[in-house]
Structure formats: structure tokens, C-alpha cells
Structure 1
Amino acid sequence: MQIVDAGPRWTIEAIDRLRELAGVRVPAEIISQAMHRPMDEIVAKAAEFNLTLYPAERDL
């Protein structure tokens, strides 16, 4: 059995930061970049805490 490193653990401070950024509608892509974590980690942790994530607004 191989153990896969899931990356850095989520600290209380990181979770608070995610809540703060999601709360002011920072786009998920920007949160991912700001927190230096893959998008799938951001989405999973937001879902775990029932946080709403928003897409980046793009000019058409």
C-alpha cells in the first residue's frame, strides 16, 4: 500500500483565511493562488465547511 502525501495540513488560520476570502466573494481561482493550494483542495475544504465559492468574472 502506498501512502500519498496530500500536501500541507489545513491549520485553523488557513481555514479562517478561506472563510474570510469566500465571505467577501473572492473568486475560487484567486483564493487558490493566494493560499498556494490546488483548486480541488480549496473546493473540497469549502464544501466541508459549507462555504460558497464564486467563479472568476471574465469579460466576454
Structure 2
Amino acid sequence: MQLTPGQKDANRVLAVGRAPVEHGFAHLKNWRTLTKPRTDPAHATRLLRALLVLTNLEVNR
């Protein structure tokens, strides 16, 4: 299926915004930050909120 130029532009914009987030989660997986089963849910929630803040700062920079 051929995409219109507008659809291609939209995909490009989404990819630019999504890339830093995907890279951040890839780093977390490599560091095994989110894979520890003994992680306290409250701690994990605070960690993910902090990561989202940092991600938003990076995307908006």
C-alpha cells in the first residue's frame, strides 16, 4: 500500500518523537532496572514517573 506524502510526514514526525523513548527503555532493559521481580511497586512507579519526566524533557529539548 502506498502512503501519501502527508502520511509519510506524519510517520516521520512520530518516529522522531518515539526514538528517544524506545532508546531509553532499551537502556533500562540492558541495566535490568525494570526486570527485577523483587522491586517494590511504589518504587517502580516513582522510577517510571521520573523516567517519563526525563523523556519529556529530552523530547521537548
Q: Normalising by structure 1, what TM-score?
A: 0.36
Considering fraction of residues, name the structure with more helix: 2
**Which of the two has higher C-alpha Rg?**
2
Normalised TM-score (structure 2): 0.36
